[in-house]
Amino acid sequence: MIKTVNLSKKFSEIYALKNINFHLKKGEIHGIVGANGSGKSTFLNVLFQDRNIYKTGGYEGKIFFEGNELEINTTKEAIDIGMGKVYQEFALVNSMDIASNIKINSSCKIPASEKLGRDFSYIDKKRNIEESELMMKEFGIENIDVKRNIDSLNVSMKQFVEIAREVSNRKLKVLFLDEPTASLNKEDVEIFKKIVRNLKEKGVSIIFISHRLDEVVDLCDTVTVFRDGEIVSSYERKDFDSEKIAIDMIGKKVSKVEKNREEHFTSDEIILELKNLSIKEKNRSINDVNLSVKKGEIVGITSLAGHGHTEISYAVMGILKSKGDIIYKGKKLNTEKTDKTIADGIVMIPDERKERGLLLESNISDNIVYTACYSKNRYLKYPSLKGLSPFDKKMIDKDVKECIEKYNIKCSSKDQKVKELSGGNQQKVCIARAVITEPEVLFVSEPTRGIDIFSKEIILKTLIDINKENGTTVIVSSSEIDELKRICDRVVIMYEGRIFDILSPYEDDEVYSLAISGKRREDNGKI
């Protein structure tokens, strides 16, 4: 279906892809894996004729589609010949309903008049709705009202709507999936796998990018490994396993970090207390959450998508309006004053990094020190002059250099704009920016989403280290239960917006699985 010959792509003078010779067969599910910044998204963007590729100087080499050399240069043309792409960040129209989004490129039409023909036509809303309902049913998603607006959906459902939009293009022959499972929990990943296997059976060829190697191994017929913009290996199904792939990606074996709970000190002081905390905002709601967090703890919060595990931090930082009380170091927190909250030591790393966590137009250096400089008055050359003092550039440069090395941020220099970084590297900047403020309480949401297997361990180790060395209280909301069990002292399970249970990290996986679905096992080891 697709063949590339010596495909290369430069941004300025730096190669993001170099001499890529790649084949995608008909009806094949082809996995592409590689560390953050290794060129995976750029490769899909080149194949899909993304505008940004042309705005940055185009590409070199040749692409063949069904045997013919491609002579197109817009995404619209790519869609017309049968390509489709599901993006890493959602590309849905939030203000429109599900059916309108699914049928956005393939709307059913009613001609306005026989004479005027199809160009003068009305959108056939009824048929759009019927076809969208059918498609969701085929996906195994029953009981969803396709007249619901997109902004009322949880992340998993948004992801399925994105896929449905591409599949509803009747000409679809090749589907590019760029980290579609990053935001999905285990149950939804199973639905996703079924959808992809069905498409394969219908003859659609698929390129699938994921950092979750177990999914890649389970789903793919072929796997190609990218490293620093080049293909380092390609395997047929019978020849690959996750260990082999991981070593090709990173160049060495990755060992998993785990918190040593014996070495660890937790005081009896309650640093943060939530009393009857409730949020009611569209699909983001929690009810009567009561939780006391001790100074020096690492507390995990998890749930299925939409059940509330990311909301608490948004309430504390005043991003979502809440009812009830938040007590910080014995005093009621004024959630209207986020700057003061940060200055007083509470910092958050949001899951919505592009919208809330980064200054995309600014460079890496400014992003990393921004909160420290402006909310914590750090890096002043003459601290006694406070706001009148210039910043200490030397100190900033030193710390930024250290962060780039420590977090393994792949970039051309500290002056590169954050919007030019790969998704995973943007996430690392977000984390560096929060950690450098040396917070007393750090809220972190989905810290390893979109992060490669090697950098993931660096991030988890960072959370363990700041907790151990600085005594930072860490509250980490994540759908990765395995990671929470490795680093947390206890894990709060949310179900339908309420705390369902608080589990020990030593508890069985089965107890966790039941709890996130609102169920208990008889001998549940509740703490």
Ligand X SMILES: Nc1ncnc2c1ncn2[C@@H]1O[C@H](COP(=O)(O)OP(=O)(O)OP(=O)(O)O)[C@@H](O)[C@H]1O
Interacting residue ranges for ligand X, rule: CB under 6 A? 11, 16, 34, 36-42, 52, 56, 410, 420-425, 452
Q: CA–CA distance from 97 to each of 104, 267, 307, 351 (Å)?
A: 10, 50, 22, 24
Element (H, E) at 19: strand 14-24
To the nearest whole angstrom, how small is the minimum distance from the Cβ of residue 214 to ligand X? 17
Q: What single string gives the DSSP state of each residue in 248-261?
A: HHHSS--PPP---G
Bridge partners (DSSP) of residue 223 are 31, 235
To the nearest whole angstrom, how small is the minimum distance from the Cβ of residue 416 to ligand X? 7
Dist. CA 399–CA 253, nearest whole Å: 28
Dist. CA 226–CA 46, nearest whole Å: 15
Give the three-state DSSP class for 4.
strand
To the nearest whole angstrom, how small is the minimum distance from the Cβ of residue 62 to ligand X? 20
Dist. CA 62–CA 71, nearest whole Å: 10
To the nearest whole angstrom, how small is the minimum distance from the Cβ of residue 451 to ligand X? 8
To the nearest whole angstrom, how small is the minimum distance from the Cβ of residue 9 to ligand X? 8
Residue with tokens 């609102």, as numbered in its chain: 518
State which residue, 3 or 10, has the beta carbon closest to ligand X. 10
State which residue, 306 or 350, has the beta carbon closest to ligand X. 350
State which residue, 368 or 373, has the beta carbon closest to ligand X. 368
Dist. CA 419–CA 364, nearest whole Å: 9
State which residue, 107 or 416, has the beta carbon closest to ligand X. 416
Q: What single string gives the DSSP state of each residue in 407-446?
A: TT---S-TTSBGGGS-HHHHHHHHHHHHHTT--SEEEEES
* Main-chain dihedrals φ then ψ at residue 102, nearest 5 degrees: -60, -40
State which residue, 6 or 267, has the beta carbon closest to ligand X. 6
State which residue, 420 or 501, has the beta carbon closest to ligand X. 420
State which residue, 34 or 82, has the beta carbon closest to ligand X. 34
Q: What is the CA radius of gyration of the chain?
A: 24
State which residue, 233 or 517, has the beta carbon closest to ligand X. 233
The residues, ordered by sequence, that sit 6+ positions from 427 with a Cβ below 8 Å of its Cβ are 353, 447, 449, 450, 451
To the nearest whole angstrom, how small is the minimum distance from the Cβ of residue 308 to ligand X? 28
To the nearest whole angstrom, how small is the minimum distance from the Cβ of residue 106 to ligand X? 28
To the nearest whole angstrom, how small is the minimum distance from the Cβ of residue 527 to ligand X? 36
Dist. CA 354–CA 166, nearest whole Å: 24
Give the CB-nearest residue to ligand X.
424
